[in-house]
Amino acid sequence: MKAQLSLLSIALVASLNSVPAHAKDALQFKDVFNFKAAKTTQLSEDGKVLSFSATPYRGNATGQVYTLNNNKLLAEVERGTKPQINKVANWVAFTQVPTLLAKETTKKKSTLKNNLVLVSTATGEQQTFDNVKDYQLSDDGKWLAYRLDQKADKDDDSKDIDDAKNTDKTSEIKPDKKDKVFDLIVVNLTDATTHTINSVFSYAINASGSELIVSQSYPDGSDNQVALISLNNTFETSVLIDEPGVVANKIAWHPTKNIAAFTLGNYVNDDMRRRDHQLKLWQNEQLTDITSPKKNWTIGKTAKLSWSEDGERLYFENHPKLAAKVKDKKYTDQASLFDYDTIRAQKGLNVWHNNDAEIKPREEQQWNETNKNKHYQAVYHLNGKRVTQLSDVDMPNVALNTNSRNALLGSSNLPYLERIMYGGFFADYYAVDVNTGEQKAIIKDYPFRPSLSPSGEFAAYFNNSQVQLKDLGNNKVSTLTKAIKAVFADDKHDYPSAQPGYGFAGWLEDSSQVLVYSKYDVWAFDVNTLKATQLTQGKESNTQYRIIKLDKEQVGFAKNDTLLVNATDLQNKQTEIAKLNLTDNSITKVLTGNKRFDVIKKAKNADKYLFTEQTYHQFPDIHQTNFSFKKPQRVTHLNPQVDNFAWGQKPELINYKGFDGEDLQGVLIKPAGYKKGDKVPVVVYFYRYMSQRMFDFPKMELNHRPNFPMFTSNGYAVFLPDIRFEIGHPGKSSTQTMINATQKLIDLGIADPDKIGLQGHSWAGYQSAFMITQTDMFKAVVSGAPVSNMTSAYSGIRLKSGLARQFQYETGQSRIGKNLFEAPELYIENSPVFFADKVNTPILIMFGDKDDAVPWHEGVQYYLALRRAGKDATFLQYEGEPHHLKKFPNQVDFSIRMMQYFDHYLKGKPAAKWMTEGESFIEE
């Protein structure tokens, strides 16, 4: 404890570059708690209101509402989270969560309830509604409906009625255990009057705010109904469906018309997976059924419903009817106790067979996550009153974009389930006609995702080191890029697998051109003439242009569009914002400077954009502008306390050579108060490419990585180098690259060669664990979740996905490129456990013992090998933690121990007691 307290009390006197010299504080761990981030940022459709939850790393969030006509903070909502702005933007709704103290001290979490806070965007006044389970605001802002998160009180009379009603228990139709009903409170927000509807399971308000559909469910099921309620002073109720056990699981109103769709089931079938649901359409005061186009197909409880934005198509999900459930054999009498079949039915067993397409953990994971309630995509065309099946059991996946009128991209990985275990991910891809359901093959056995034209007539993909265009009408494939002197293959790809391209920007909305990325530029290819047009001129200035797509549902670009693009200088890492005019291909930079700029949102129906700008010293606060970008305005000031701390020097780019002589870069951040000629302790943090973080504000949190300002404000330099790998020899190649990078700091006279530490997690955890078997350059290493023995890890399992780890070595990140039987010598060569006796560097190994990516016994193996070899090794086992620490106490604890470790070995401070004596296992 003394070591921790001394660590937390460190203070340095420093001054930032270009800042008047005055005393600034060194960052302490408790200071990190107070840094806020804008979570769930919302911009109103008219561009006049901004809201988000200002959430500190540790503490209670504050909901914030800004009016963008004057950039004023209109309201703050205590513990306000998950803001929602209704369509006409007269209300902002916040979910008000319990205090952090209540969350940490309340044993029965179910007793903690959320509130709802409404903020008037006209006045800033707040209304609070207690114990809210969920809610909906009408688009016009006149009505609020919310379910009250508490059990309804019953008086004696109602209890007598219920007792009489439930005398015959056999007639009960009980709801599913997880289906909870609550009273629905409907509030007229113009006059504050309320109306209560009891026992509501699901509900939805229509687009005009005139009607409400509710599904009411009761314990015995006898009075269940689906009802339509008029939103007026009288709340007239029309019963749409009235039968015992009935329930509407999903309700979806048309985006503009008074038409509703809902899925209707009945609890009379208590088998949730085999319960048939009907899809009902309420239109013109009538209910009609929408039936699946396939025979013996039905709709399940978890099926999703969604309308296209134009309201012309209703997308829903269905699946084949399941076979009857096999009845379990149970012990029922004396004879059953000795019956083989009944006895064996009680077994716990998984049979792993060599002919299984997937190994059992993957099969189980896929069953629970996907296949147990597997649905397929269908669409109902409102105008033609017809249903089209879009996916099926043979082609199960469709990338749904409800705004696409013509075609969707479909895929199936079913033929490759076995190969995925060792060869990576592959699928067959199709163009699926939204109107007919016809599937046209694009490419089979393909590791990347093709790009489909809006019309569905063409597809583009990267194959044989070139961009290919396929005419799906005649199946003709044309190579688009062969004659062009530009790099379209990702030259940073250093994996033993197919080289990908740089990707696709999209299509013109008439499908006449596909926009393709090269290393630097955006190119347009005409699908008829195959003519290429270079839209940007990035190669000459070493600038990489990429189109910014703020609307994820956008189908295509207009021929005369002016698009926003990121312009990144690949040498100095500066990211600017520019405009690309598709009419004349002119580029105009609109946000520029020694910063990183990101455009984050556009108002749906207004010329309003939000963007952030950041550096290592400047938090990415939100700014607003219009499309001219001529008068940008700062809106938020979330973390002014940055200026109070000795944050560190301005980051610099350091150039060095990779293992093969390639030019690489790293980001160096010198400590606050650094003076030329000082040789300082350095903590190196890395993974793969890191130099793109040159202008990033550091993440203000404590987790598996160093908090950079915590180190740079306390006397350390932090170095973030790029690393490259040689296939078959990832360990030695990354080690040589790291030696070159670190030696450059020594040669520059910045790094004290006796005070250099190394920290990495996961893949970088492996690299750091391996590097100290090859070099004594580093004086202390903190290695998180490292693979230490590739021969054992090769046949391990990634518990989160259930996949065998073999693909990681043969084609993936671990970069061996061959299986264990072809090249056992490579697996041994790259495994630090076999060279533990060569280690002379103190190492701190950290693992969560529920790691779902790397088997945590990989850490145990390395620790035991080092221990046997008499080396200085300490192992931190965090109980119940996955691959990255999730529990706040563990995040803080590891961060403190990491600092203590480096403080001792790099600064010579006294070792904390746990470092010299360990900690005894004591269980009271």
Given a cut of 60, whether residue 337 has pLDDT beyond it is yes
Of 744, 775, 544, nearest to 663 (Cα)? 744
Per-residue pLDDT band at 16 (split at 50, 70, 90): very low
3-state SS string for 631-668: CCEECCCCCHHHHHECCCCCCEEEEEECCCCCEEEEEE
Given a cut of 50, whether residue 8 has pLDDT beyond it is no
Cβ proximity of 392 and 292 under 8 Å: no
Given a cut of 80, whether residue 411 has pLDDT beyond it is yes
Tokens representing residue 345 in the block: 């039915």
* Strand-pair category, 522-526 with 532-534: antiparallel
Per-residue pLDDT band at 707 (split at 50, 70, 90): very high
Kindly provide the residue ranges of all beta strands, DSSP E only, lying in 331-413, ordered along the sequence. 376-381, 386-389, 397-399, 407-412
- The residues, any chain, with a CB within 8 Å of residue 726's CB and separated by 6 or more, are 494, 659, 660, 732, 733, 815
Does residue 495 sit in helix, strand or coil?
coil
Given a cut of 80, whether residue 798 has pLDDT beyond it is yes
At 547, the amino acid letter reads: I
- Cα 329 to Cα 325, 339, 347: the distances in Å are 12, 10, 11
* Strand-pair category, 49-56 with 36-43: antiparallel
At 711, the amino acid letter reads: F
Given a cut of 80, whether residue 166 has pLDDT beyond it is no
- The residues, any chain, with a CB within 8 Å of residue 33's CB and separated by 6 or more, are 56, 57, 58, 59
pLDDT score recorded for residue 4? 37
The residue-averaged pLDDT of 299-313 equals 97
Cβ proximity of 666 and 690 under 8 Å: yes
Q: 């307290």: which residue's tokens?
A: 5
DSSP, res 501: B
Does residue 809 sit in helix, strand or coil?
helix
Sign of torsion, CA 116 119 120 123? positive
Q: 């919310």: which residue's tokens?
A: 146
pLDDT score recorded for residue 18? 39
- Compute the distance between CA of residue 299 and CA of residue 314 in angstroms, rounded to an integer: 14
pLDDT score recorded for residue 924? 78
* pLDDT tens string 275-299: 999 999 999 999 999 999 999 999 9
- Compute the distance between CA of residue 826 and CA of residue 791 in angstroms, rounded to an integer: 9
Question: Which contiguous run of DSSP H or E holds residue 808?
Answer: helix 806-810
Tokens representing residue 853 in the block: 């990516």
- Compute the distance between CA of residue 883 and CA of residue 886 in angstroms, rounded to an integer: 9
Of residues 14 and 87, the one with the higher pLDDT is 87
Please, what is the average pLDDT of the chain? Answer: 94
The percentage of residues in the chain with a pLDDT greater than 90, rounded to a whole number, is: 94
* pLDDT tens string 109-148: 999 999 999 999 999 999 999 999 999 999 999 999 999 9
Per-residue pLDDT band at 151 (split at 50, 70, 90): confident
* pLDDT tens string 549-589: 999 999 999 999 999 999 999 999 999 999 999 999 999 99
pLDDT score recorded for residue 806? 97
* pLDDT tens string 823-874: 999 999 999 999 999 999 999 999 999 999 999 999 999 999 999 999 999 9
Given a cut of 60, whether residue 426 has pLDDT beyond it is yes
The percentage of residues in the chain with a pLDDT greater than 70, rounded to a whole number, is: 95
Per-residue pLDDT band at 170 (split at 50, 70, 90): low
Given a cut of 50, whether residue 157 has pLDDT beyond it is no
pLDDT score recorded for residue 7? 35
Per-residue pLDDT band at 233 (split at 50, 70, 90): confident
Buried b (16+ CB within 10 A) or exposed e, 20-53: eeeebbbbbbebbbebbbbebebbbbbbbbbbbb
Given a cut of 90, whether residue 311 has pLDDT beyond it is yes
Does residue 769 sit in helix, strand or coil?
helix
pLDDT score recorded for residue 93? 98
At 576, the amino acid letter reads: E
DSSP, res 377: E
pLDDT score recorded for residue 9? 36
pLDDT score recorded for residue 538? 97
The residue-averaged pLDDT of 227-247 equals 96
What's the residue count for the chain? 924
- Compute the distance between CA of residue 116 and CA of residue 180 in angstroms, rounded to an integer: 19
Residue 360 CB-density burial (10 A; 0-12 exposed, 13-18 middle, 19+ buried): middle
Of residues 600 and 13, the one with the higher pLDDT is 600
Query: Which residues are bridge partners to 248 per DSSP?
Result: 264
Given a cut of 90, whether residue 63 has pLDDT beyond it is yes
pLDDT score recorded for residue 154? 52
* pLDDT tens string 482-536: 999 999 999 999 999 999 999 999 999 999 999 999 999 999 999 999 999 999 9
pLDDT score recorded for residue 1? 34
* pLDDT tens string 352-381: 999 999 999 999 999 999 999 999 999 999
- Compute the distance between CA of residue 522 and CA of residue 500 in angstroms, rounded to an integer: 16
CA 814-815-817 angle, to 5 degrees, is 130
